Chains A and B, each alone.
Chain A
Amino acid sequence: DAKTTQPTSMDCAEGRAANLPCNHSTISGNEYVYWYRQIHSQGPQYIIHGLKNNETNEMASLIITEDRKSSTLILPHATLRDTAVYYCIVGISNTGKLIFGQGTTLQVKP
Chain B
Amino acid sequence: EAQVTQNPRYLITVTGKKLTVTCSQNMNHEYMSWYRQDPGLGLRQIYYSMNVEVTDKGDVPEGYKVSRKEKRNFPLILESPSPNQTSLYFCASTRQGGYNEQFFGPGTRLTVL
Contacts and interface: CB of A to CB of B under 8 A. Distances in A.
Interface stretch (A17-25, A37-45, A67-75): A37-45
Interface centre among B31, B42, B56 (most CB of A within 10 A): B42
A47 to B, nearest CB: 9
Interface in B83-98: 88, 90, 92, 94, 97-98
A100 B38 CA distance: 12
B68 to A, nearest CB: 13
Given A92-B98, A95-B97, A42 B33 contact: no
B97 A44 contact: no
Interface residues of B, number: 27
Task: Label chain B's interface by main secondary structure.
Answer: strand
B4 to A, nearest CB: 7
Contacts of A43: 4, 90, 92, 104-107
A100 B50 contact: no
Nearest to A34: B100
6 contacts: A44-B43, A45-B104, A96-B33, A96-B99, A97-B48, A98-B43
Interface of A: 2, 32, 34, 41-46, 49, 92, 94-98, 100-102
